[in-house]
Amino acid sequence: MPTGANSKKKYTYVWVSTIILVFGIFAIYEITKRLKDGSVVENDRMSVGSLQRELSFIVADGKKRKVPEFSFLNQDSLLVSDKDYLGKVYIAEFFFTTCPTICPIMTKNLVELQNTFKAYDEFGVASFTINPRYDTPIVLKKYADRYGITDKDWHLLTGNQDEIYKLAQEGFYILANEVEDAPGGFEHSGMFALVDKDGYIRSRTDGNGNPLIYYRGTITEKQGVNNEGEAQQITMLKEDIKKLLKEK
């Protein structure tokens, strides 16, 4: 028969265990509820997505979306095509050198990725200018020098504007337009597309199983969250680049 002291310890243990169990059930319920109603915040998505072993393909009309063929001049006046990126994991973006708003932040984020993966020959970046009339190879070269773009597989690409816009809108489904009233005269997305070694666009999925498709390029890791409450996704992108680099 238990003594008074032992009995007290026993009931205390049972009481504490019950509290832990109740709070555990409540926490699981809350997480499940937030996933179902889509209220998971960006940082939650990052944590959930980090558990994925493989990244999703982006499927349209029953087919995996692959980057279409392209061929443009880079900052060294060399012709670069989609074939030059085969066998590499790369980030694709659309920008212009005189952009007064988001492009400088996007470029700084890409330089951060460049420096993170500088030891990997299989990593690259494709930066397509949406103002090719101004952004000649000479202008792009000066831009590269100003921001510390040194990776041999980071090509700043220029060429026919219609072809670049078609690539953005029909190839990547990324906004790119010449708009007179927009800052700098052009309207474009601040998103990055992640492309695997075979040329397919890839991403992790959110808590509901939907692919994110793009990664937010307009917020730095240091900033964390912007004024609209949107979280940075550069940390997420680093994780996903590593996953694709490990794929054969």
pLDDT tens-digit series, residues 120-170: 999 999 999 999 999 999 999 999 999 999 999 999 999 999 999 999 999
| Percent residues over pLDDT 90 in the chain | 73
Report the predicted TM-score, pTM, of the whole model to 2 decimal places: 0.79
Q: Judge whether residue 33 has pLDDT over 70.
A: no
Q: Which domains, from first to last, does the chain contain?
A: 56-246 (3.40.30.10)
- What band does 247 get if pLDDT is binned at 50, 70 and 90? very high
pLDDT tens-digit series, residues 181-230: 999 999 999 999 999 999 999 999 988 999 999 999 999 999 999 999 99
The tokens describing 60, both together, are 């349209």
Q: Judge whether residue 60 has pLDDT over 90.
A: no
Q: Which among 130, 139, 133 is positioned nearest to 99, based on CA atoms?
A: 130
Q: Which among 153, 152, 178 is positioned nearest to 164, based on CA atoms?
A: 178
83-87 average pLDDT score: 98
Between 156 and 33, whose confidence is greater? 156
Q: Is 53 annotated as a binding residue?
A: no
- State residue 40's pLDDT score: 38
Range with the largest mean pLDDT of 16-20, 31-35, 244-248: 244-248
Q: Judge whether residue 75 has pLDDT over 70.
A: yes
Query: What average pLDDT does the structure give for the chain?
Result: 85
User: CA 148 to CA 110: how far, in whole Å?
Assistant: 10
- 185-190, Cβ contacts within 8 angstroms, sequence gap of 24 or more: 185/131, 186/96, 186/99, 186/130, 186/131, 188/94, 188/95, 188/96, 188/99, 188/130, 189/94, 189/214, 190/102, 190/105, 190/106, 190/216, 190/217, 190/218
Q: Is 85 annotated as a binding residue?
A: no
Q: Judge whether residue 47 has pLDDT over 60.
A: no
- State residue 207's pLDDT score: 87
Q: Beta-carbon neighbour count of residue 140 at 10 Å?
A: 24
Q: Judge whether residue 24 has pLDDT over 60.
A: no
- What band does 22 get if pLDDT is binned at 50, 70 and 90? very low
Q: Is 108 annotated as a binding residue?
A: no
